[in-house]
Amino acid sequence: MATLFISDLHLDPRRPTIVSLFLDFLERRARRADALYILGDLFEAWIGDDDDAELGHTVAGALRALVESGVPTYFLHGNRDFLVGQGFASASQIQLLPESAVIELVGEAVLLLHGDTLCTDDVEYQAFRAQVRDPAWQAGLLARPLAQRRMLASQLRETSRQATQAKGTEITDVNPMAVEHALRTHGVDHLIHGHTHRPAIHQWILDGRPARRAVLGDWYEQGSVLCCDRAGWRLESLPLPGV
């Protein structure tokens, strides 16, 4: 069996085909895994664990069924679902990870990130990230009525979309020096992250040792999963139903 990694699903009721693909993935492919790691942006937006929208309850139930089948499931916050809290974790039985986590994977230490902290050339985004990750800011947001939070989330998504379109790809991609700094800081040679929507497995020499960085793909036109076992690391695509 393999350990599976996914990110950037951006689940949204307006994209029911992707939601169905993810639920099928949990019921079938993920049931054969040693473990599942979700490295952020599971949802297009998460406005708090008290949200009564159907999608959150459906996904929590499906994740819980996976965990109860014997597959431990871990979640690391992304830039769209940083408000996922202990309420959702309890409902789904997933285990919340810190924003940077080192795990042992097939005998090797591997750093897990969402990936947005590596995009250090995007100074505007990093300032925004610092604001929304501040506990006081989050507490103030969660104190607002759900309707206000939904409106704000919609506004933030549109602002993010426009800002991303206005920036070059070199700005929104990771900074190579930030990648190497993260590896050195955590004392590892391997990294798995999402966020950039540029799936690939990069290999190079860092400080005289082989280094490896896997970038997870998004779930827009298809599903994307990284499978890690003793045979190696493989990025696999999951076709949409009927394709």
Q: Give the model confidence (pLDDT) of 26-56 as tens digits.
A: 999 999 999 999 999 999 999 999 999 999 9
Residue-wise pLDDT tens digits, 116-135: 999 999 999 999 999 999 99
Average pLDDT, the chain: 94
Q: Is residue 102 scored above 70 in pLDDT?
A: yes
Residue 117 counted as domain residue: yes
SS (H, E, C) the chain: CCEEEECCCCECCCCHHHHHHHHHHHHCHHHHCCEEEECCCCECCCCCCCCCCHHHHHHHHHHHHHHHCCCCEEECCCCCCCCCCHHHHHHHCCEECCCEEEEEECCEEEEEECCHHHCCCCHHHHHHHHHHCCHHHHHHHHCCCHHHHHHHHHHHHHHHHHHHHHCCHHHHCCCHHHHHHHHHHHCCCEEEECCCCCCEEEEEEECCEEEEEEECCCCCCCEEEEEEECCEEEEEEECCCCC
For the annotated binding site for Mn(2+), the residues are 8, 10, 41, 79, 114, 195, 197
**Rounded distance between C-alpha atoms, residue 85 and residue 80, angstroms:** 13
Q: How large is the average pLDDT for residues 171-190? A: 95
Residue 75 counted as domain residue: yes
Determine what percent of the chain is predicted with pLDDT higher than 90. Answer: 88
**Rounded distance between C-alpha atoms, residue 93 and residue 106, angstroms:** 24
Q: Read off the pLDDT band of 171 (50, 70, 90).
A: confident
Residue 130 counted as domain residue: yes
Residue 219 counted as domain residue: yes
Question: Which position has the higher pLDDT, 158 or 80?
Answer: 80
Q: How large is the average pLDDT for residues 58-81? A: 97
Q: Angle CA(44)–CA(48)–CA(53) in degrees, nearest 5?
A: 65
Residue 243 counted as domain residue: no
For the annotated binding site for substrate, the residues are 79-80, 122, 160, 164, 167, 195
* Total number of domains constituting the chain: 1
Q: What is the pLDDT of residue 159?
A: 79
Range of the domain at 173: 3-238
Residue 63 counted as domain residue: yes
Q: pTM (2 decimals)?
A: 0.95
Residue 223 counted as domain residue: yes
Asked whether the beta carbons of 103 and 77 are under 8 A apart, the reply is no
Q: How large is the average pLDDT for residues 201-208? A: 97
Q: What is the pLDDT of residue 162?
A: 80
Q: What is the pLDDT of residue 164?
A: 75
**Rounded distance between C-alpha atoms, residue 108 and residue 59, angstroms:** 31
Q: What is the pLDDT of residue 243?
A: 59
The CATH number covering residue 130 comes to 3.60.21.10
Residue type, 93: Q
Q: Is residue 141 scored above 90 in pLDDT?
A: yes
**Rounded distance between C-alpha atoms, residue 59 and residue 9, angstroms:** 12
Q: What is the pLDDT of residue 241?
A: 79
Q: What is the pLDDT of residue 242?
A: 67
Q: Which of 227, 162, 158, 169 is nearest to 198 (CA)?
A: 169
Q: What is the pLDDT of residue 87?
A: 97
